[in-house]
Amino acid sequence: MARNPRITFIGAGSTVFMKNIVGDVLQRPALSGATIALMDINPQRLEESAIVVNKLIATLGVKAKAETYSDQRKALAGADFVVVAFQIGGYEPCTVTDFEVPKKYGLRQTIADTLGVGGIMRGLRTVPHLWTICEDMLAVCPEAIMLQYVNPMAINTWAIAEKYPQIKQVGLCHSVQGTAMELAHDLDLPYEEIRYRSAGINHMAFYLKFEHRQPDGSYRDLYPDLVRAYREGRAPKPGWNPRCPNKVRYEMLTRLGYFVTESSEHFAEYTPYFIKDGRPDLIEKYGIPLDEYPKRCIEQIERWKGQAEAYRSADRIEVEQSREYASSIMNSVWTGEPSVIYGNVRNNGCITSLPVDCAAEVPCLVDASGIQPTYIGELPPQLTALIRTNINVQELTVRALMSENREHIYHAAMMDPHTAAELDLDQIWSLVDDLLAAHGDWLPAWARGGRKSAAA
């Protein structure tokens, strides 16, 4: 009898996300008998997640089973796939710190989880824990594939590849397919008729092609239509979040000739052009949602209270297919049926105009042999140039982590496009001092500490 896969969730208390992935998995016949091992350090969230998984199993009438663990290594033992989704330090205290301390310097952010001083700090908090998962995987499930859904995605993926190159890993995000759906909606076209090819780094990949299939089977370039729709005020259409009107990305399309895959609220803080002290006109013109991520966290925490209660009392939990790649990857590896996903992997020459060791986001073929990134070649020079400004920050953060050299934390902040556009060198050094002091024990021991002088 064929063996069923064992799928371990580290950070299973991210219940809504876990529910979407498990719902996708259990609807695939080859995976429907899986053992779902749930691990979290929060007993209440773990229990809530187990309730949800068991109700999904009952609703779908499949043979899967759920197990719960508070011990990471035990949860990982014998796993075939390891799904990682957690936030070290949570909304409180760490996200609040990442926003409030920079504000004292006049440095305002929107999301602060990928780049900038917020992204750097999150990387320093997160990577050491990801490394413990790699250690445990090498001990108890060395052949498993890690599906990593944690931000800062590029820093995490780079740091894992650097320290544990033998771990099979891919960083996953839904921005590529999610944005393609948004653009199809903006142009009133069915998403199924769109063809695209995207490449770059996580949250700053670009559609190198974005086309619509014609009745005769040929494809038409949609970039002129997108620019025209923006110029005429027909795009962007209102999205799921009224605070985030998505104008930044359309403006950048008119300047670069290509559309970026991650949202305008993210993109505004990866570049030096949109959030500027004393320029409220820019915030107004492009609808930039300052402090957006804390607002979302508060809304999410509030929403979860009602949702957890609803899940507890529900007899059935209905499942829709999500946009996530996880179940597609598992199905292809398990059955050999090929699929194509967008994944974050060590570049290794896939994009020739970016560093070989950076984390690149490229199309990947998945089959029984695992995840195989595809060759892209050189990106248009203006895209390469902009992406490199973000890679500088990622590289210095990874260097800090690998060498335990605190100096590189300051260097990373100094190279950040948004931070450098707003603050002088003394302010940047002082801000990093304050952030390191405020985060305290959430950081690895080598990174903690009090004040450093600019000359040190």
174 is catalytic: yes
pTM of the model: 0.97
User: Which pLDDT value is given to residue 454?
Assistant: 40
The number of beta carbons lying within 10 Å of the beta carbon of residue 224 is 9
Q: Rounded to whole angstroms, how far apart are CA atoms 222 and 161?
A: 36
Superfamily of chain region 6-171: NAD(P)-binding Rossmann-like Domain (3.40.50.720)
Q: Which residues contact 192 (CB under 8 A, 6 or more apart)?
A: none
User: Which pLDDT value is given to residue 452?
Assistant: 53
Is 203 marked as a binding-site residue?
A: yes
Is 173 marked as a binding-site residue?
A: yes
> Are 321 and 27 a contacting pair, CB within 8 Å?
yes
CA-nearest of 158, 141, 162, 152 to 5 is 141
> Are 35 and 67 a contacting pair, CB within 8 Å?
yes
Kindly report whether the peptide bond that precedes residue 152 is cis, defined as omega within 30 degrees of 0: yes
Q: Rounded to whole angstroms, how far apart are CA atoms 176 and 46?
A: 30
Domain ranges of the chain: 6-171, 390-443
> Are 196 and 210 a contacting pair, CB within 8 Å?
yes
Q: Which residues contact 273 (CB under 8 A, 6 or more apart)?
A: none
User: Which pLDDT value is given to residue 456?
Assistant: 41
What are phi and psi for residue 362, nearest 5 degrees? Answer: -140, 160
> Are 326 and 24 a contacting pair, CB within 8 Å?
yes
Q: Which residues of 328-433 form beta strands (DSSP E)? A: 339-346, 359-367, 370-373
H or E element in which residue 206 lies: strand 204-213
User: Which pLDDT value is given to residue 127?
Assistant: 98
Give me the tens of pLDDT residue by residue for the chain, a chain 456 residues long.
Answer: 679 999 999 999 888 899 999 999 999 999 999 999 999 999 999 999 999 999 999 999 999 999 999 999 999 999 999 999 999 999 999 999 999 999 999 999 999 999 999 999 999 999 999 999 999 999 999 999 999 999 999 999 999 999 999 999 999 999 999 999 999 999 999 999 999 999 999 999 999 999 999 999 999 999 999 999 999 999 999 988 999 999 999 999 999 999 999 999 999 999 999 999 999 999 999 999 999 999 999 999 899 888 888 888 888 888 888 989 999 999 999 999 999 999 999 999 999 999 999 999 999 999 999 999 999 999 999 999 999 999 999 999 999 999 999 999 999 999 999 999 999 999 999 999 999 999 999 999 999 975 554 444
- Give the relative orientation of helices 116-140 and 153-163 as an angle to the nearest 10 degrees: 40
> Are 437 and 451 a contacting pair, CB within 8 Å?
yes
Strand duo 6-10 + 194-201: pairing: unpaired
Strand duo 81-84 + 204-213: pairing: unpaired
Q: Which residues of 359-398 form beta strands (DSSP E)? A: 359-367, 370-373
> Are 344 and 154 a contacting pair, CB within 8 Å?
yes
Q: Rounded to whole angstroms, how far apart are CA atoms 423 and 431?
A: 9
CA-nearest of 454, 427, 453 to 101 is 427
Q: Rounded to whole angstroms, how far apart are CA atoms 322 and 344?
A: 19
- Whole-angstrom CA distances from 413 to 91, 142, 267, 393 are 22, 35, 17, 7
> Are 440 and 450 a contacting pair, CB within 8 Å?
no
CA-nearest of 149, 443, 110 to 293 is 110
Q: Which of 129, 174, 185, 212 is catalytic?
A: 174
At 373 the three-state DSSP class reads strand
Q: Rounded to whole angstroms, how far apart are CA atoms 450 and 438?
A: 9
> Are 198 and 342 a contacting pair, CB within 8 Å?
yes
Is 151 marked as a binding-site residue?
A: yes
